[in-house]
Chain A
Amino acid sequence: MSIDWIELIIVVVKALIVAFGLLIGFAYLTWFERRLVGRFQMRIGPNRVGPAGLLQPVADALKMFFKEDFVPGQADKPLFIMAPGIAMSAVLISFAVVPVGPSIRLFGREITLYLADVNVGMLVVIAVLSLGVYGIILGGWASNNKYSLLGGLRGAAQVISYELPYGLSLVGVFMLAGSLSLKDIVEAQARVPFIVLQPLAAIVFFFAAVAEANRSPFDLVEAENELVAGYHTEYSSIKFALYFMAEYISMIVASALMVTLFLGGWQGPFLPGIVWFFIKLVFMLFVFVWIRATWPRIRYDRLMAWSWKLLVPLSVANILVTAGALVLRDMGVF
């Protein structure tokens, strides 16, 4: 392969936009969440730093950088330092295949509004997210703290348990689209978004995604009333912030995937594709925050039972029903 330098520069610029876009998205998601939860609880929320509190995330970031960054005495130092980096990198990378819009023309060049469109598309996301579990499990083990270890193990068990319905619920979508590529899946929703054809899959996937992101009501790993802060009890400064960012960015990734897989992605009337994508994305993020403000945390044994005894059989049933319906339709029954 001879290197097309201009193409390579475009790719690097796009990768930087994705990474920094997600960081800025994270910063303003914390603001968005705190303001919203404030309203839900009849409070005002942060409104002092900058207009409407808009500079609050900047202040928080600066504070984090100047906090003491220490490694506990008995900790496994290399792993303790690496673990938050793994958690953060995994969620950033998982955004690589999400298309935010169709291609646009810029300076006489066709520029696609996604970083990569690969044949195995969604499986790349699942693969990368399945590596994110190491951030949790290693952080918990390396800290040499009982709360951390137990939080890490519980977190790992939770994440792997919800990975099954996460993947299985999407099989129906793949069948309808006939492809694993997220771009093909969006284009297959030109007439009807898949949430209409695959409502059960959408619900199962959403709950699995909430649990994968360790968000309330499935935020058992950081159940403060029993495990202090779970696997990141001993973390401080930016290393703590990286875990925090990983959680919020995986919320953004989960919302983007919901939009792409079930809500028709960038497609919509009148407005340009990228605008539609962001409208839908903000709506999904609102749902995430809404759930957090409304539902109490679930108990751990019920959490595991939910995945193994409810979501897994439901998603397998969804596959069989979808397959049956498609066969009947292809045979011309309806």
Chain B
Amino acid sequence: MVPADFLPILVLIIVAVGMSAIAIALSALLGPHKSTPTKLMPYESGMVPVGDARLRFSIRFFVVAILFILFDVEAIFFYPWAVYFRRLGLFALIQIVVFVGILFVGYFYAWRKGALEWE
């Protein structure tokens, strides 16, 4: 079995990556290059930069990322289900109601406990 219908996507990937690479290379060749120590400093609205730029940030970003993974996995299951739905009929409806029911217990738990808040 040959995935011939994916071949055009591969061609477009090559074209797109090639084009971005050429653009970046061209601008490196064409523009002026006059760097001064001040220009190389990180931009901090004209102030002298304070401390390390790679600062610590809130745990909220992790919570969002983890919750995203969980719901993304859930979403992945919806796609084949949607395509096959018409052939299963009522049985498919019951399946998904149970699945969504289980997930929404978790969803509302997370909501109630404040995991969806952003402060």
Listed in ascending order, the chain A residues whose CB lies under 8 Å from chain B are 1, 8, 11-12, 14-16, 18-19, 23, 64-70, 72-74, 81, 84-85, 88-89, 92-93, 95-97, 115-119, 123-124, 141, 143-150, 153, 156-157, 160-161, 163-164, 167-168, 171-172, 174-175, 178-180, 228, 233-234, 237-239, 241-242, 300-301, 304-305, 308-309, 312-313, 316, 319-320, 323-324, 326-327, 330-331
Question: Nearest chain B CB to A245's CB is how many angstroms away?
Answer: 9
Residues on the B chain within 8 Å of A316, using CB: 100, 104
Contact for B55 among A68, A84, A146, CB less than 8 A: A146
Contact for B61 among A89, A116, A153, A238, CB less than 8 A: A153
A66 x B31 contact (CB < 8 A): yes
A180 x B79 contact (CB < 8 A): yes
A239 x B82 contact (CB < 8 A): no
Residues on the B chain within 8 Å of A320, using CB: 96-97, 100
Tell me the total A-B contact number using a CB cutoff of 8 A: 226
Kindly state the separation between the CA atoms of A99 and B93 in the bound complex, as whole angstroms: 31
Question: Nearest chain B CB to A124's CB is how many angstroms away?
Answer: 7
The yes or no answer to B109 lying at the interface (CB within 8 A) is no
Given A69-B31, A116-B9, also A85-B21 (CB < 8 A):
yes
Contact for B93 among A157, A161, A327, CB less than 8 A: A327
Contact for B79 among A157, A160, A171, A239, CB less than 8 A: A171
Enumerate 10 A-B pairs (CB-CB under 8 Å) in ascending A order.
A115-B11, A116-B8, A143-B53, A145-B43, A147-B44, A149-B53, A164-B75, A228-B43, A319-B100, A327-B93
Question: Nearest chain B CB to A102's CB is how many angstroms away?
Answer: 17
Question: Nearest chain B CB to A294's CB is how many angstroms away?
Answer: 25
Contact for A123 among B5, B64, B79, CB less than 8 A: B79
Kindly state the separation between the CA atoms of A89 and B13 in the bound complex, as whole angstroms: 7
Contact for A85 among B24, B30, B39, B104, CB less than 8 A: B24
Residues on the B chain within 8 Å of A96, using CB: 8-9, 12
Kindly state the separation between the CA atoms of A238 and B19 in the bound complex, as whole angstroms: 12
Residues on the B chain within 8 Å of A95, using CB: 12
- With A116-B5, A157-B60, A301-B118 given, name 8 new contacts (CB 8 A): A11-B11, A66-B30, A69-B28, A69-B30, A143-B42, A146-B53, A156-B61, A301-B117
Q: Please provide the chain B residues from 14 to 39 with a CB less than 8 Å away from any CB of chain A in the complex.
A: 14-17, 19-21, 23-24, 26-28, 30-35, 37, 39
B27 x A319 contact (CB < 8 A): no
Interface centre among B26, B82, B119 (most CB of A within 10 A): B82
B24 x A178 contact (CB < 8 A): no
B4 x A84 contact (CB < 8 A): no
Residues on the A chain within 8 Å of B48, using CB: none
B17 x A157 contact (CB < 8 A): no
Kindly state the separation between the CA atoms of A19 and B111 in the bound complex, as whole angstroms: 43
A144 x B53 contact (CB < 8 A): yes
Residues on the B chain within 8 Å of A160, using CB: 64-65, 68
Question: Nearest chain B CB to A230's CB is how many angstroms away?
Answer: 12
